[in-house]
Structure 1
Amino acid sequence: MTERGLRQLQDELKTLMFIERPQVIAEIAKARAYGDLSENAEYAAAKEKQHLVERRIRYIEERISRAQIVDLRTLSGNKVFFGAYVLLEDEEREIEYQIVGTDEADIKQGKISIEAPLAKALIGKEIGDEVTLFIVQKEKRFLIKAIRYISDVDSCTTESF
Structure 2
Amino acid sequence: MSNDQPVYLTEEGLQKVKEELEYLTTTRRREVAQMIAEAKAEGDISENAGYDEAKTAQGFLEGKIRELENTLKRAQVIKEEGKKNVVSLGRTVVMREVGTDFDETYTIVGSLEADPVNGRISNESPIGKALLGKKVGNKVKVESPGGEIEFQIVKIE
Which TM-score bucket, shorter chain as reference?
0.7 to 0.9
State the match for 2:96 in structure 1.
89
TM-score by length of 1: 0.84
Give the Cα separation in 1 of the matches to 2:101 and 2:143: 16
Tell me the residue number matched to 1:19.
Answer: 27
Alignment match, 1:8: 16
Alignment-mate amino acid for residue 44 of structure 1 = D
Distance in 2, Cα, partners of 1:57 & 1:140: 40
User: For residues 36 and 68 of structure 1, do their structure 2 counterparts lie closer, same or farther at Cα, with a shift above 3 Å needed?
Assistant: same
Say whether 1:71 aligns with 2:76.
no
- Deviating 4+ runs (over 6 angstroms): none
CA distance in 1, matches of 2:50, 2:150: 52
User: Shift in Å at residue 70 of structure 1?
Assistant: 2.4
The CA deviation string for residues 17-76 of structure 1, in whole angstroms up to 9 with x for no partner, is 12211111111111112222222211111111111111111111111122222222x244
The alpha-carbon deviation at position 77 of structure 1 amounts to: 2.0
In structure 2, stretches of 5+ residues that fail to align are 1-8
CA contact (8 A) 1:80 1:123 kept: yes
Cα RMSD (Å) of the superposition?
1.6
1:6 maps to a residue whose letter is L
> How far apart in 2 are the matches of 1:109 and 1:18?
30
* Matched letter for residue 133 of structure 2: G
State yes or no: 1:107 paired with 2:116.
yes
Report SS of the residue matched to 1:103: helix
Q: Are residue 121 (structure 1) and residue 116 (structure 2) matched?
A: no
For the Cα contact (< 8 Å) 1:5–1:101, is it kept in 2? Answer: no
Q: How many residues align?
A: 147
Q: Is the 8 A contact 2:107 2:120 kept in 1?
A: yes
Task: Choose which of 67, 70, 73 in structure 2 pairs with 1:62.
Answer: 70
Gaps of 5+ in 1: 149-161
Code of the residue aligned with 2:77 in structure 1: it is: I
Q: CA deviation at 1:130?
A: 1.4
Query: 1:20/1:92 Cα in 2 relative to 1: closer, same or farther (>3 Å)?
Result: farther
